[in-house]
Amino acid sequence: MEIFRQRGSQPGREQDDWLQAEYELLQLPVRKLADSQLKKSQRSSALISFVQAAVILSTALPRLTR
């Protein structure tokens, strides 16, 4: 709802708002990872998981936006 309001409350871009919200939510774990003081091995494992998730999303998003 906040994204909708920030855009001036204009209807017709619901899918864009939804995708923006998903993107912002997906960024939260990355921000926490970047800000935390994890051990090097934990950071490497988390980074690998993040890259795997990014690859999966990059293949799925074009199909979702059609």
Whether 23 and 13 have beta carbons less than 8 Å apart is answered as: no
Q: What is the amino acid identity at position 35?
A: D
Instruction: Look at residue 45 in the predicted model and tell me its pLDDT.
Output: 75
State the pTM of this model: 0.42
CA–chain centroid gap for 7, Å, is: 19
The tens digit of pLDDT for each residue in 24-66 reads 877 777 666 666 655 656 666 777 787 888 878 777 766 665 5
Listed residue (49, 46, 29, 48) closest to 38, CA to CA: 46
